[in-house]
Chain A
């Protein structure tokens, strides 16, 4: 079957939309990756500034090129880029979740049974979606508060960590609701 350009674009947009429905609070996930990236930039800025300072006194172009390459390597070191991935696993039972760090990847594992937020009739199951968002927000809370990449790791009991992650999740979701309320109640929104 040959698709018209319009049909192809519509199908592509639908595909993107369908996948995006499976990922709750993806704005927050992206924001956390940005916060981690910014923190990394801050920490390497001093190192880079030191190299640049030394470059002022250098006249040999080969040495300058090598110093410039050194800076480029520091900036683009793939080993320092943190990723957050979300995986739906059938082994994870409903309303459970895990977050595991392996190398520079944080893997949030959610129940496959909750992946589809729509019922058989195609309508959104808001109750399931709400539980999924809570699970996701809680796990993001662990990454922010307890992984050591953004906040210094405190010695907390498991119970305290869970309480903190719950509080983080409630706060994040409430802020999102407030923001959505502002947007969806505005008459300009219908034109966006």
Chain B
């Protein structure tokens, strides 16, 4: 699946789980890789991060889903 189609499908997702399912088809090895891929595709910035978890993986996972949520929510801008 090409990059443009992936972007389109992500933006048309109804929720973060659907958007994640699109990215899963690319077969990324880690959540970090998914974040890097999103960075190359969308414009977003992490402004705040309250992290009470110890593992880096869990923290990345929260970043990842929050990024997807922001991307999808920004699509509703007027």
Residues of A within 8 A of B (CB): 78, 81, 83, 85, 87, 89, 91-93, 95-109, 135, 138-139, 141-143, 146-147, 162, 165
Residues of B within 8 A of A (CB): 16, 42-53, 58, 61-67, 69-71, 73-74, 76-78
- Whether the pair A98, B66 counts as a contact (CB closer than 8 A) is yes
Q: How far is the CB of A53 from the nearest CB of chain B, in Å?
A: 30
Residues from chain B with a CB closer than 8 A to the CB of A95 are: 50, 52
Measured CA separation A159–B51 after assembly (Å) = 12
Q: How far is the CB of B62 from the nearest CB of chain A, in Å?
A: 5
- Whether the pair B44, A102 counts as a contact (CB closer than 8 A) is yes
- Residue among B47, B76, B78 with most chain A CB within 10 A: B47
Q: Is the interface of A mostly helix, strand, loop or mixed?
A: mixed
* Shortest beta-carbon contacts, A-B, top 9: A142-B48, A98-B66, A100-B70, A91-B65, A99-B48, A107-B70, A105-B74, A102-B74, A102-B70
Residues from chain A with a CB closer than 8 A to the CB of B65 are: 89, 91-92, 109
With A81-B78, A101-B47, A147-B47 as contacts: A96 and B52 at CB distance below 8 Å: yes
- Whether the pair A143, B74 counts as a contact (CB closer than 8 A) is no
Residues from chain A with a CB closer than 8 A to the CB of B43 are: 102-103
- Whether the pair B66, A92 counts as a contact (CB closer than 8 A) is yes
Q: How far is the CB of A57 from the nearest CB of chain B, in Å?
A: 35
- Whether the pair B48, A138 counts as a contact (CB closer than 8 A) is yes
Residues from chain B with a CB closer than 8 A to the CB of A89 are: 16, 65-66, 69
> Which of A78, A91, A102 touches B73 (beta carbons < 8 Å)?
A102
